[in-house]
């Protein structure tokens, strides 16, 4: 009888621990800031794992999505008017809210013609591409005190 109860409680404890650890693996760490520099590794391979041809170039587009008003990231704002070659980007948040950052690779052929784009890697995606999911949280400061005497 005791072993049956012990087994039942062990199974419940194991289930709870699994849920706790699985949930924490997908948690987004919200960083409070008004400005952030995001960085990423250079893309050196194509989607099939083969190397980017030597005469091709890879550039990047950076996106910002409001986590509250656009949780599915269906209408992200493009932050880089033209794709950039840098492997980092500094963005400034002007409106209060919670934001997710996305980066997309853009491939150009030897004639500098855009020939393909990757999916957008979002900062809240847990996995090899984003091992530490994060988001940006921005609060507007209060107004300055008035009528000092």
Which residues fall within 8 angstroms of residue 140, CB to CB, at 6 or more apart?
96
Collapsed DSSP state (helix, strand, coil) of residue 36: strand
Q: What is the pLDDT along the chain (149 residues), one digit of tens a residue?
A: 566 665 665 555 454 544 433 344 459 999 999 999 999 999 999 999 999 999 999 999 999 999 999 999 999 999 999 999 999 999 999 999 999 999 999 999 999 999 999 999 999 998 788 889 999 999 999 999 999 99
Selected from 2.60.40.10, 3.40.50.300, 3.20.20.70, 3.50.50.60, the CATH number assigned to the domain covering 28-138 reads 2.60.40.10
Which residues fall within 8 angstroms of residue 57, CB to CB, at 6 or more apart?
85, 107, 108, 112
Look at the pTM and tell me if it is higher than 0.95. Answer: no
The maximal CA–CA distance of the chain, rounded, in angstroms, is 78
DSSP classification of residue 54: T
* 103, 108, 114, 120 alpha-carbon torsion, rounded to 10°: -20
Domain spans, the chain: 28-138
């Amino acid at each position: 009888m005791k072993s049956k109860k012990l087994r039942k409680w062990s199974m419940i404890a194991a289930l709870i621990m699994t849920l706790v650890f699985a949930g924490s693996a997908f948690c987004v760490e919200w960083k409070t800031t008004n400005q952030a520099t995001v960085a990423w590794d250079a893309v050196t391979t194509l989607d099939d794992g083969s190397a980017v041809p030597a005469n091709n170039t890879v550039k990047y587009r950076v996106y910002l999505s409001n986590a509250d008003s656009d949780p599915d990231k269906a209408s992200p704002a493009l932050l880089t008017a033209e794709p950039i070659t840098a492997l980092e980007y500094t963005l400034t948040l002007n409106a209060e809210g919670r934001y997710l950052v996305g980066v997309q690779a853009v491939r150009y052929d030897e004639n500098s013609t855009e020939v393909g784009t990757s999916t957008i890697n979002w900062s809240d995606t847990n996995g090899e591409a984003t091992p530490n999911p994060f988001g940006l949280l921005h609060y507007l400061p209060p107004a300055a005190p008035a009528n000092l005497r």
